[in-house]
Amino acid sequence: MIVDDVKSCYAVLSIVHNIWAPLPEEFDDYIARPKANGYQSLHTVVEAEDGRTLEVQVRTQEMHRFAEYGVAAHWRYKEGSSASVDQKFDQKIAWLRELLAWKSEVADVVVGQDDSERQWVEQLKAASLNDRVYVLTPQARVIELPSGSTPIDFAYHLHSDVGHRCRGAKINGAMVPLNTPLKNGQTVEIITAKGEAAASGAAGPSRDWLSDGYTASPRTRSKIRAWFNAIEQAETLAQGRALLEKTLQREGKTAVNLEDLAHKLGFPKLEELLLAIGNERLSLRLVEQALQAGDANRAATAATDEATLTRKSRASSVTKGGKSGVLVLGTSGLLTHMASCCKPAPPDPIVGFITRGKGISIHRTSCKNFAQMCLRAPERIVQTAWGAQTSDTVYPVDVFVLATDRQGLLRDISDIFLREKINVIGVSTRSSKGQATMSFTGEISSTEQLQRALKVIRDVKGVIEVRRS
């Protein structure tokens, strides 16, 4: 069928397929993918109502002219019909005619000569006209390949994966070497790797296939080179990742965000950073410097955060003269102060120790310093207890936090203290080998308030340990 334009080709094809049942394996779209000689058309085979098969070809007038009259008609159609164009066209036609006439004359001259001369003429004809070879799959599908193609070209023409897993070939049922040139009409069967090697991707082409005589198609050689390039890139990526991880472990930065590190070093993607390290285009010393610069930045940020997050002690704090509510031997009003070594708060079990000139210091019974003082002067120990507490009195306590270092960790923990209405009056942070150690001093009204805050802090991302000091 001949139609006006390409759009109509596909429209007619759709109508044909709606009327008769098409055979999918017999459909060829030479418009989207023209043949090497420039031929274009839609080919399909349909099954009629009586069971007969019909072949239908659909193309435009230009495609038909090219198919019927060859490249000469294509030139005429493309270049128009002006006098200058006609002259160029006639010159091309004359050249083709001279070539054909010369071939005929050569053939006539060698008639009756020996076989070698006749063979030379046949080779000349083949060199001029036969630059393609047509072979069959075991399912009788016709495959067009460049002249001189081998089973390797055939395998890659079918599919890249078939080519990569190619391990042998049969021509007309007989095993042949993979560098055997194919001839018209031969049936070619590819033997591929199977089992664990194919499943794991270990099966692949041989580098020998890039040598002369194994392939004739540039497309085949390009696919083989692409396979080896992909393997080399994967090995380089693995090597780069191993070197980077070793550097991070040495610097104690295993928790660092690798994407952020890549951006800091000027690489848009992590894969590009790993390739640069694996190819030794990027020194690991630069990676170390980037990590150390990050530590310096975080230290500066932490210092700023510490200054921002800490507040003044409340006037009702026992350190500012607030009533502690501690009873000494059942008597209130005696000079007492909370020991700074253990910072007791209600309802901690407490005990008193008489000091020289500072009254009675109040310790938690579990205080290690108090235990040492008892050994030296047990006679200065006095019994104490918590009396009635005022609602606004607060007591300073210390909190220790160990966590995996990350951006925003200090802010997250400080927000919890703020929500629990614990006034933070002191913060100290230190980072080493990817871990952050933090000490907070906060003012609480009771240890129950502190326990609620510690329970929430344990759920913060990266927190390893949190306890009262």
pLDDT at 131 over 50: yes
Residues 6+ apart with CB under 8 A from 107: 121
Residue 146's closest CA among 130, 128, 161, 126?
Answer: 130
- Both tokens of 386, joined, read 């918590």
Amino acid at 347: P
- Location of structure tokens 């990526």: 237
pLDDT score recorded for residue 83 = 52
pLDDT score recorded for residue 201 = 53
DSSP state of 306: H
Question: Per DSSP, what are the bridge partners of residue 43?
Answer: 28, 57
pLDDT score recorded for residue 359 = 84
Pure H helices in 175-283: 196-200, 218-251, 258-264, 270-278
Query: Cis bond leading into 347, ω under 30°?
Result: yes
205 near 224, Cβ under 8 Å?
yes
pLDDT at 295 over 70: no
How far apart are the C-alpha atoms of 53 and 56, rounded to whole Å? 10
151-188 pLDDT, tens digit per residue, is 999 999 999 999 999 999 999 999 999 999 999 888 99
Angle of CA points 400, 403, 407, to nearest 5°: 120
pLDDT score recorded for residue 340 = 84
pLDDT score recorded for residue 119 = 54
pLDDT score recorded for residue 174 = 92
378-422 pLDDT, tens digit per residue, is 888 998 888 877 767 888 899 999 998 887 888 889 889 989 888
pLDDT at 148 over 70: yes
- Location of structure tokens 């002191």: 426
How far apart are the C-alpha atoms of 319 and 313, rounded to whole Å? 8
The backbone region for 280, taken as left when phi is positive above 0, alpha when psi lies in -120 to 50, beta otherwise, is: left
Residue 414's closest CA among 396, 428, 431?
Answer: 428
Burial class of 90 by CB neighbour count within 10 A (0 to 12, 13 to 18, 19+): exposed
In the three-class reduction of DSSP (H, G, I as helix; E, B as strand; rest coil), residue 164 is classed as helix
- Both tokens of 462, joined, read 């990266």
pLDDT at 319 over 80: no
What does pLDDT average to over the chain?
80
Residue with more model confidence, 88 or 287: 287
How far apart are the C-alpha atoms of 85 and 307, rounded to whole Å? 86
Residues 6+ apart with CB under 8 A from 365: 348, 349, 350, 351
Q: For residue 93, what pLDDT band results from cuts at 50, 70 and 90?
A: low
Pure H helices in 113-216: 115-129, 151-158, 160-164, 196-200
Longest distance between any two alpha carbons in the chain, whole Å: 142
- Mean pLDDT is highest, among 188-192, 263-267, 345-349, 404-408, for 188-192
pLDDT at 4 over 80: yes
209 near 224, Cβ under 8 Å?
yes
Residues 6+ apart with CB under 8 A from 103: 121, 124, 125, 128
How far apart are the C-alpha atoms of 40 and 214, rounded to whole Å? 30
How far apart are the C-alpha atoms of 398 and 274, rounded to whole Å? 44
239-251 pLDDT, tens digit per residue, is 989 988 888 888 7
pLDDT at 296 over 60: no
Strand (E) positions, 147-215? 166-171, 174-176, 188-192
Angle of CA points 264, 268, 270, to nearest 5°: 80
Residue 420's closest CA among 438, 395, 400, 445?
Answer: 445
Residue with more model confidence, 11 or 66: 11
170 near 191, Cβ under 8 Å?
yes
pLDDT score recorded for residue 78 = 47
